[in-house]
Chains A and B, each alone.
Chain A
């Protein structure tokens, strides 16, 4: 079974530029999560999708972050414009259903904003 795929693995941009991350969940997984992990901290949820609908985006900085999940499969997370404090690892995870206890994580994208 293929795992959660993410790209790119690394990205370096200057502040005020825009960036996009892509996630392909495990086939058949209805629920998709984006987490932000700042250095030295645990991951924090940015947004949760159930199929192509948003379940929770209360922690997403909507003035600069946006996310979509087209056709309930792949998802894209965008930051525009980026700030220095956005430097972090962005992890995507998926689960079979929202109540399924196990979330499977991708390898993450490390973003550095200079």
Chain B
């Protein structure tokens, strides 16, 4: 069974600084996707960034980047130049590559506070 672990329930960062959120996962499969989702108080899940397991290059989306360590099953999110609008719950998620049942498995989330 796939499990996703986020060991940091809460994190805080000064505005304009950099913060890294941690995520580890467990799977026996070789092909899969990893995601970071942002959930603001409005509750709507917003995709921040994704990583395909077969790609060695770490994904980057503007101020957001990941450090994907496949052997260690680690998938951390780095937010650079943090902004007040980045404050939210962040969820790490895993999805199988196979056809059929391919729902997301989520971690328990990290609440990020941005300090002005």
Question: Are A107 and B95 in contact (CB-based, < 8 A)?
Answer: no
Q: Give the distance to chain B from A82, nearest Cβ to Cβ, in Å.
A: 20
The reply to whether the CB of A43 lies closer than 8 angstroms to some CB of chain B is yes
Interface string of A54-67 (1 = CB under 8 A from B): 01100000000000
The reply to whether the CB of A22 lies closer than 8 angstroms to some CB of chain B is no
| Closest residue on chain B to residue A47 by CB atoms | B103
- Please report which residues of chain B, range 10-67, place their CB below 8 angstroms from some CB of chain A when the two chains form the complex: 33, 42-47, 50, 52
B8 partner residues in chain A, CB cutoff 8 A? none
Question: Are B42 and A107 in contact (CB-based, < 8 A)?
Answer: yes
Question: Are A56 and B103 in contact (CB-based, < 8 A)?
Answer: yes
Question: Are B99 and A42 in contact (CB-based, < 8 A)?
Answer: no
A103 partner residues in chain B, CB cutoff 8 A? 47, 104
User: Interface stretch among A12-20, A72-80, A94-102?
Assistant: A94-102
Q: Give the distance to chain A from B3, nearest Cβ to Cβ, in Å.
A: 11
- Please report which residues of chain B, range 86-103, place their CB below 8 angstroms from some CB of chain A when the two chains form the complex: 91, 93, 95, 97, 99-103
The reply to whether the CB of A106 lies closer than 8 angstroms to some CB of chain B is yes
Question: Are B100 and A98 in contact (CB-based, < 8 A)?
Answer: yes
Question: Are A99 and B102 in contact (CB-based, < 8 A)?
Answer: yes
| Closest residue on chain B to residue A95 by CB atoms | B102
Among B45, B99, B109, which residue has its beta carbon within 8 angstroms of that of A93? Answer: B45
The reply to whether the CB of A23 lies closer than 8 angstroms to some CB of chain B is no
With A55-B100, A93-B45, A108-B44 already in contact, the answer to whether A43 and B106 are too (CB < 8 A) is: yes
The reply to whether the CB of B74 lies closer than 8 angstroms to some CB of chain A is no
With A55-B100, A98-B102, A99-B102 already in contact, the answer to whether A108 and B43 are too (CB < 8 A) is: yes
Q: Give the distance to chain A from B47, nearest Cβ to Cβ, in Å.
A: 6
Q: Which residues of B contact A (CB under 8 A)?
A: 4, 33, 42-47, 50, 52, 91, 93, 95, 97, 99-104, 106-109
Beyond contacts A33-B104, A108-B44: 5 other A-B pairs, Cβ-Cβ < 8 A, are A41-B109, A43-B106, A56-B101, A98-B99, A101-B50
